[in-house]
Amino acid sequence: MTAPAPLLTAEDVVAGYLPGIDILTGCSLELHPGEIVGVIGPNGAGKSTLLKAIFGLVDVRAGAIRLGGDNIVGLSPHQMVARGVGYVPQTENVFPRLSIRENLEMGVFQDPKRFAARFEAVAEMFPLLAERSGQRADGLSGGERQMVAIGRALMMDPQVVLLDEPSAGLSPAYQDEVFERITAITDHGVSLIMVEQNARRCLQICDRGYVLDQGANAHTGTGRQLLEDPKVISLYLGTLARA
């Protein structure tokens, strides 16, 4: 029986911010429908750069990135959204002076007529967003802001969501809640690529994981395989995992 084709692939991607300086030096990744793929590694390994390269925020100098078989290198972020890819940056991921509802409206700026139906669907995943829809985002906790940011990325009903450090700066309780919400999102037909410094927690919930080091793949396997790999434990989990 033939295995289903990947939903998204990155192949030998080379990318960077400044001329002549490559942050990604040939990394590869696959995302299959319904999966959570985790990306871990030390600071400066290129994890966030990989998400930005996929989303069209960083120039790709070599390699290919394919969505549903189509090479998407060179597409702008708004074109990526139209193609069903959402992105949640680590910082500055909400409009602080706008209400929760207005933040979610920004998520469908390309197709405002979809707001009512998508608001109902997203509120089913994140009830807080409906209960406090009139509250300004600058009055929310860090965990609540993260839910707004993820909710906005879901407003266009994407196939793929790219999450950059969703637990960064959150209390342990909110970290647990965010990770629970992330796993629930896949029940709604969304596939996820998650960059995360809480390496152990990330590997516990992801289907497959990639360890990046110096812009390239260092280790690949299922979440469980990487959690139990002596090399990954000694080189990465000891310094990246949080209690």
SS3 219: strand
Q: Please report whether residue 1 resides in a domain.
A: no
Q: Which is nearest to 53 in space by CA: 93, 11, 99, 13?
A: 13
What is the rounded CA–CA span in Å between residue 108 and residue 153? Answer: 9
Q: At 30, which CATH number?
A: 3.40.50.300
Four-CA torsion 204, 209, 71, 121, nearest 10 degrees: 0
Q: Please report whether residue 37 resides in a domain.
A: yes
Q: Please report whether residue 3 resides in a domain.
A: no
Number of domains in the chain: 1
Which residue is associated with the tokens 């319904």? Answer: 34
DSSP state of 92: S
Query: In degrees rounded to 5, what are phi and psi of residue 185?
Result: -60, -35
Q: Please report whether residue 174 resides in a domain.
A: yes
What is the rounded CA–CA span in Å between residue 171 and residue 204? Answer: 18
Residues paired with residue 71 on neighbouring β-strands, in sequence order: 66
Residue-wise pLDDT for 67-114, tens only, equals: 998 999 999 999 999 999 999 998 889 999 999 999 999 999 999 999
In the structure, what pLDDT confidence band is assigned to residue 177 with cuts at 50, 70 and 90? confident
Q: Cα(first)–Cα(last) distance of the chain, in Å?
A: 42
What is the rounded CA–CA span in Å between residue 168 and residue 186? Answer: 21
- Please report the pLDDT score of residue 2 as a whole number: 56
Q: Please report whether residue 2 resides in a domain.
A: no
Average pLDDT over residues 132-151: 92
Q: Please report whether residue 224 resides in a domain.
A: yes
Residue-wise pLDDT for 118-141, tens only, equals: 999 999 999 989 999 999 999 998
What is the rounded CA–CA span in Å between residue 205 and residue 210? Answer: 13
Domain interval for residue 146: 8-240
This prediction has a pTM of 0.93
- Please report the pLDDT score of residue 153 as a whole number: 96
In the structure, what pLDDT confidence band is assigned to residue 217 with cuts at 50, 70 and 90? very high
Q: Which is nearest to 157 in space by CA: 212, 93, 108, 219?
A: 108
Q: Please report whether residue 217 resides in a domain.
A: yes
Q: Please report whether residue 231 resides in a domain.
A: yes
